[in-house]
């Protein structure tokens, strides 16, 4: 499993309410993204926003963060996003009462 943390600085015209409204509007669009397990839409009072994505494979993540998605981010926020990739070793999921331990993947070669 791969976690990607994507961040960008919000321009002054996009405040808390506008960011929240936009995220609520686009959240359903991520239901059909290839390899995406989940996305957390994040905002901080310091003016940064973005997403924490869980991916099945690094290839799916890297393919998604190019083309139309990247162009849309640059157009809306006026900057390329900061993207950090992490290989997930384990997950404690208290809502399901489950702990998952992951085997080493090919991702260790690219991190």
- pTM for the model stands at 0.89
Per residue in 84-102, pLDDT tens?
A: 999 999 999 999 999 999 8
Going from the N-terminus, what domains does the chain have, and what CATH number goes with each?
2-109 (3.30.70.100)
Q: What is the average pLDDT across 25-39?
A: 97
pLDDT of residue 103: 84
| Long-range Cβ contacts of 35-38 (<8 Å, 24+ apart) | 35/59, 35/60, 35/61, 35/64, 36/60, 36/64, 37/1
Average pLDDT on 52-64 reads 95
Cα separation, 59 vs 77, in Å, equals 25
pLDDT at 106: 60
Given this model, what pLDDT does residue 107 score?
A: 53
pLDDT at 104 over 90: no
Predicted confidence at residue 71, as pLDDT, reads 95
């Amino acid at each position: 499993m791969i976690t990607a943390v994507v961040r960008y600085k919000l321009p002054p015209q996009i405040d808390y309410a506008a960011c929240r409204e936009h995220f609520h509007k686009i959240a359903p669009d991520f239901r059909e993204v290839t390899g995406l397990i989940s996305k957390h839409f994040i905002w901080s009072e310091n003016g940064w926003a973005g997403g924490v994505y869980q991916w099945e494979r690094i290839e799916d993540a890297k393919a998604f963060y190019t083309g139309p998605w990247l162009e849309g981010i640059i157009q809306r926020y006026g900057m390329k996003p900061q993207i950090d990739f992490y290989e997930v070793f384990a997950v404690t999921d208290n809502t399901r009462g489950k702990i998952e331990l992951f085997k080493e993947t090919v991702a260790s070669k690219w991190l």
